Structure 1
Amino acid sequence: MSWDTDLVDNVSDELFWDPKVDNEAIAVSANAGTVTLRGTVGSLREKREAKNAAQRVIGVLEVDNQLKVRLMGDLGRIDADIRGDVLQALMLDSLVPETVDAKVQDGEVTLTGTVDWQYQRDEADFVASNIVGILDVFNQIEIRNPNPNTRDVESSIQKAFKRNATLDAEGLTVSTDNGVVTVKGTVGSWAERNEAIDAAWSAPGVTAVRDDLTVTY
């Protein structure tokens, strides 16, 4: 059996294994380590969970998530109701500042406003994606830049890499330019890649992270 055939089988098994994903309407294909997901799912959260499941499989280099959200029965809702629920959920989450706003068009949510940290941006995205009736979320929230010291940012990220037991810090390099951090190197899994990117986002003053990492097995 070829590498790609094994990937298709293993990703399909992982989708079946994950109780958060209904794999019945998901088709999996692979080409040179890139896995493509096609078909339909019942929610945006399920679409994202399917991608996460595929990334967990050893040998997967990239995931092209082409799944479409198809709302069933009475789950289709008017935009005003969706926006009201999104704003309510954002307000109730203590991690999301009041500076975040949302608009909705044709079931697609656009998040706007400003935050101080990436985790606040991620939290707003996560909260919005869980609202019933949403087809997609576009995160346009901006991170305020407190003019960080370049050397301090690079040093703090490298130290975070070395502290993390799941990362091989020797294979990673960091550079920064006015709050934009670029992480380069090779990692052994998607989980390791995510750990490195999360660590880079945690440095004070970071407004963007460029992922130049390569996943190798």
Structure 2
Amino acid sequence: MKTDSQLQQDVMAELRWEPAVHATQIGVEVEDGVVTLAGEVSSHVEKWNAERAAQRVNGIRGLAVELEVKLGALDKRTDVDIAQSARNILSWTGSLPEDAVKVLVEQGWLTLSGEVEWQFQREDAAESLRSLPGLTGVSNQIGIKPSPSATVVKAEIEATLRRSAAADAKAIGVEVHGTSVTLTGAVHSWAERDSATRSAWGSPGVRKVIDKMSLVY
């Protein structure tokens, strides 16, 4: 098991390795395996890349992101301009039904709402807008339409987990209540945890995934 000092050094090294991040502007603190990123970044996408870089480090038990997006004078845009650009991009995103996603922008913060059938559509909407100039943040509140029966959903998720080389299906429990899925058990890395949650989200109609899995190293 890594010490807090080792985790701090590893996270700092991973941030330096990530070309989309200005690592010198980001402070890293670790306490009891929980990493906190603090400082300033120049865009929302840089903040997101810093978060993803930290999650790649093995041994992290939790991550708090306290990075402030501070736009340069040339990067600032009006909320109306951002909203119009966002609507255009969503209309060009082939995986999304027409007018399924609504946008709201307030002081550069973009909130997505509406309803789609699949989690990948929900993710595509946010991903397509992540690099939009002028953003200070993105809140993805897009809902997912009702699912088939709990028995069908559970069977589909368990089958997906068995097919996944990145997750140990036998170590992960799946409970379905309505449109919510709860995952329990032990995983051995962030990648395995991510694979399990993606498997759960991949079932049609799942609207909420509750991650109660524990990281065991």
Fold equivalence (TM over 0.5): yes
Hey, what does 2:168 align to over in structure 1?
A: 168
Pair 1:108-2:109 in alignment: yes
Which residue type is aligned with residue 134 of structure 1?
A: L
Are the counterparts in 1 of residues 174 and 181 from structure 2 also a CA contact under 8 Å? yes
Which residue type is aligned with residue 169 of structure 1?
A: A
Deviant stretches of 4+, over 6 Å = none
Hey, what does 2:144 align to over in structure 1?
A: 143
Cα deviation 1:172-211 (Å, max 9, x = unaligned): 0001011211111111111111100000111122121111
Hey, what does 1:30 align to over in structure 2?
A: 30
**1:96, distance to aligned residue in structure 2 (A):** 2.1
Report SS of the residue matched to 1:20.
Answer: coil
Hey, what does 1:43 align to over in structure 2?
A: 43
- The 1-side partners of 2:169 and 2:142 are apart by 30
- The 2-side partners of 1:142 and 1:216 are apart by 32
Cα deviation 1:125-156 (Å, max 9, x = unaligned): 1122210000011111111114x111111111
Structure 1 residues not aligned, in runs of 5+:
none
- The 2-side partners of 1:198 and 1:110 are apart by 22
- The 1-side partners of 2:144 and 2:150 are apart by 17
Are the counterparts in 1 of residues 119 and 204 from structure 2 also a CA contact under 8 Å? no
Structure 2 residues not aligned, in runs of 5+:
none
Q: Determine what percentage of the aligned residue pairs are the same residue.
A: 37
- The 2-side partners of 1:113 and 1:169 are apart by 32
Which residue type is aligned with residue 31 of structure 2?
A: N
- The 2-side partners of 1:31 and 1:56 are apart by 18
Report SS of the residue matched to 2:154.
Answer: helix
Normalising by structure 1, we get a TM-score of 0.96
- The 2-side partners of 1:210 and 1:125 are apart by 20
Are the counterparts in 1 of residues 153 and 176 from structure 2 also a CA contact under 8 Å? yes
Hey, what does 2:94 align to over in structure 1?
A: 94
Report SS of the residue matched to 1:67.
Answer: strand
- The 2-side partners of 1:43 and 1:126 are apart by 14
**1:52, distance to aligned residue in structure 2 (A):** 0.8
**1:161, distance to aligned residue in structure 2 (A):** 0.7
**1:73, distance to aligned residue in structure 2 (A):** 2.4
- The 1-side partners of 2:115 and 2:150 are apart by 22
Report SS of the residue matched to 1:65.
Answer: strand
Report SS of the residue matched to 1:145.
Answer: coil
Report SS of the residue matched to 1:73.
Answer: coil
Cα deviation 1:71-98 (Å, max 9, x = unaligned): 0121011101011111111111101222
**1:50, distance to aligned residue in structure 2 (A):** 0.6
Report SS of the residue matched to 1:66.
Answer: strand
- The 2-side partners of 1:97 and 1:105 are apart by 25
